[in-house]
Amino acid sequence: MTWDPEKYREKREKVLGVKKRGLSFGTLTFAVSCIILAGLVFLFLPGPLSYLKTRHLDDAIFKMEHHQAWPRSLVTQVAALPGVSGTSLDTHDTRLVVTFDRRSIDPETIEALFARHGLDTTLLNRESHRQRMVILESEKELENETL
Amino acid sequence: MTDHLIEINSLNKMYDSGGTGVAAIDHMDFYIDDGEFVSVTGPSGSGKSTLLSVMGGMNRPTRGQVQVDSLDLYALTPEQRADFRSEYLGFIFQSFQLIPYLTLLENVTVPMAITGRKKKEKRDMAMAVIDRVGLADKALRLPDQLSGGEQERVAIARAIVNRPPIILADEPTGNLDSRTALEIMALLQELNREGHTVIMVTHNREMERHATRSVRVRDGRIETLDTDWCTK
């Protein structure tokens, strides 16, 4: 029978690598590298991202004289101030922690608002929001260990 | 571009024998067409098995060229040559070369290991060829639980499982009694009729008659039996 170049074309192309079977080594390596990179990003990126988001934030801790509880409506007003990104009260409602962007607002502006409402407050402390979070976290761990 | 399925051009294979070169194949030129059943005969040491291994891409010639389906075998990379063997060739050996601790079914599945086929597909294909050689009821037996003729049938099933266009058989009936040998030859003829090109090395003149053409080799050269077909 005369040789027919079309008869075994598919086999010939397989041998010559024209038709790739499955994944090539390069593709497989690329895919595995992408998975590893994605894993590393997942593991290590949240930290830097969180830093970028919170690096301008400070926490101011206010206390009311005479141990009064903070009026809820006032807390809502503070939270609505431009540059304030959060407020939280301690369990007895005597301390108010205001998280704010130091580029937009300062504790004195917040204190002025309290004064307008006739409240006698004291700024107990001002510190970096990230630093406070770290302290809170370690305090929580310590509490768990003690229990 | 070639005109034939297999073309052998100016083939030479030297072996080093105690410091002197011995030509196992000495300037051979011939071709084999698609669908032929060619027997290669000759006395012991005439170079017929060397010729078969060179044609099978397993033994690099000292000089010359082997082209199969226009592929220059020894210009291919080793990986391409392995793919070539997997795609184009089925080997049948005189000593069967079955793996003794694998069942018949597993032995036949071995050549499909690198084909990327799914497990079920491999099993179905293996069972189909086992059935084809008449051993379906013994598929789960080990080679030593089979007779010589049956082991040869397994070797044939293994050779054709990847549906290769070319079957290379080295003394396929060498270890068989004459009645079983005839059965195996009938099976090879059947495969040839189904479209496989069969190239069989044998020293048995009786078996040679089952081929459609014959090449006689002596001292590494072709002794032309029929000038119409075996030389260019």
> ipTM of the assembly?
0.78
**Is B213 part of the contact surface with chain A (CB cutoff 8 Å)?**
no
CATH code of B94's domain: 3.40.50.300
Residue pLDDT, tens place only, A41-98:
888 888 778 788 888 999 999 988 776 778 888 889 999 999 999 998 876 677 899 9
Domain containing B87: what range? 6-230
Per the domain annotation, does B1 fall within a domain? no
- What are the distances in angstroms from CA A44 to CA A30, A37, A41, A52, B63? 21, 10, 5, 14, 60
User: Distance between CA atoms of B166 and B66, rounded to whole angstroms?
Assistant: 14
What lies within 8 Å, CB to CB, of B77 at 6+ separation is none
Q: Which residue from A5, A8, A16 is facing B165, i.e. has the nearest CB?
A: A8
Task: Name which of A1, A15, A17 is nearest B34 (Cβ-Cβ).
Answer: A1
In this model, does residue A35 exceed pLDDT 90?
Answer: yes
Exposed, middle or buried by CB within 10 Å (0-12, 13-18, 19+), for A110? buried
Which chain A residues are closer than 8 Å to B84 by Cβ? 15
- Asked whether the beta carbons of residue A22 and residue B88 sit closer than 8 angstroms, the reply is no
Number of domains in chain B: 1
What is the value of pTM for the model shown?
Answer: 0.64
In a domain, B224, yes or no: yes
Q: Is B37 among the domain residues?
A: yes
Three-point CA angle B205, B9, B37, nearest 5°: 35
- Tens of pLDDT, residue by residue over B82-95, are 989 989 999 988 78
Question: What is the number of alpha carbons within 13 Å of residue B228 lying toward its C-beta?
Answer: 2
CA distance A7 to chain B (A): 9
List Cβ neighbours of A92 (8 Å cut-off, separation of 6 or more). A69
Chain B residues in contact with A2 by the CB 8 A cut-off are: 3, 33-34
Q: How high is the pLDDT of residue B142?
A: 93
Q: Which of residues 9-38 of A touch B (CB under 8 A)?
A: 11-12, 14-17, 21-22
Closest CA to B180 of B214, B215, B133: B133
B1 pLDDT tier (thresholds 50, 70, 90): low
Q: What does the block give as tokens for A105?
A: 């607002």
Contacts of B116 (CB under 8 A, 6+ apart): A21, A22
| Burial classification of residue B59, based on how many CB atoms lie within 10 Å of its CB (0-12 exposed, 13-18 middle, 19 or more buried) | middle
Position B224 confidence tier, pLDDT thresholds 50, 70, 90: low
Residue B130 maps to a domain: yes
In a domain, B32, yes or no: yes
Please give the Cα distance from A88 to A106 (Å, whole number): 17
Band of pLDDT at residue B36, cut at 50, 70 and 90: very high
B229 touches A: beta carbon within 8 Å: no
d(CA B138, CA B151): 11
Residues A11-28 have pLDDT tens digits of 888 888 766 566 778 889
